[in-house]
Amino acid sequence: MVSGRISENGVWSLYRIRNNGQSRDAAHRLRKIPLARNSSLTELPAALRARATRASYKAGALIFRVGSASHAVFFIEAGAVRLMRRGRDGEEIVLHQARAGEFFAEASIDSARYHCDAVAMEKTNVLKVSAASLTDLIKADPDFARQWVSLLARQLRTVRSRVERLSLKSAKERIRHLLISDGLGPHCEVKINGTLKDLARDLGLNHETLYRTLATMERAGQIERRRGALRLVR
């Protein structure tokens, strides 16, 4: 029997279940709770698509810079975007990595300036919707407004999961949390988009620590690395 309180995003309790040696099947069943799903959409809502323009960015391209005038909300059709700031010593602080099916810069809809840098992690195709058009649509279409609130709630749960992960002390705990919260299938497989250095930034680790921890977990038979993916073994 699996017991314990399920957190709002359904993630931390799963991590505790796995770490306490309970069965993968029990954890997998709990992962099917809707609140544990990610915020990706298969396509942009039709009401927004009619108001959107398309843009493409090469890997490494700057989409917008912190402090620049905010003008649009973005929806990723393909690719990935890193949202980040710079620390006091110039180090990168990753706030979020947005993937295909996600919006980004929605937090700036009521702000005159963007709050971070947005950089394409790979070749990325986006749809841009002006902040004014989005605001008008929310006011004029109650059904869309409900869709938008639901989307933001799901993305907030995703961010909370990331904050929860970064609060864990060890690299091993963060890797296990990532696999359980974001992984798919019975082995909680996570596709690695970008490089291992990108993954290290997302986990709040330096890349040497990540490489060393992955190698240790792989030798211990806890994880497998295959074809650009990580999966949990036990």
CATH number of the domain that residue 78 is part of: 2.60.120.10
Question: Where among 158, 185, 208 does a domain terminate?
Answer: 158
Give the helix/strand (H/E) hosting 137. Answer: helix 131-140
Lay out the sheet containing 124-130: strands in order across.
53-57, 124-130, 72-78, 103-104
Q: Which residues pair with 232 in a beta bridge?
A: 223
pLDDT in tens, 23-82: 344 334 333 323 333 444 556 677 788 889 999 999 999 999 999 999 999 999 899 899
pTM exceeds cut of 0.75: no
pLDDT of residue 161: 84
Residue labelled with tokens 């109650």: 142
Question: Where among 132, 158, 184 does a domain terminate?
Answer: 158
Say if 6 falls within a structural domain. no
Least confident among 6-20, 122-136, 171-185: 6-20
Instruction: State the CATH number of the domain containing residue 192.
Output: 1.10.10.10
Nearest residue to 71 (alpha-carbon basis) of 53, 95, 46: 53
Looking at the structure, tell me whether residues 95 and 16 fall in a common domain.
no
The number of folded domains in the chain is 2
Look up the domain containing 226 and give its range.
12-37+168-232
Looking at the structure, tell me whether residues 131 and 224 fall in a common domain.
no
Q: Which amino acid is at 96?
A: H
Q: Encoding tokens for residue 218? A: 């792989």
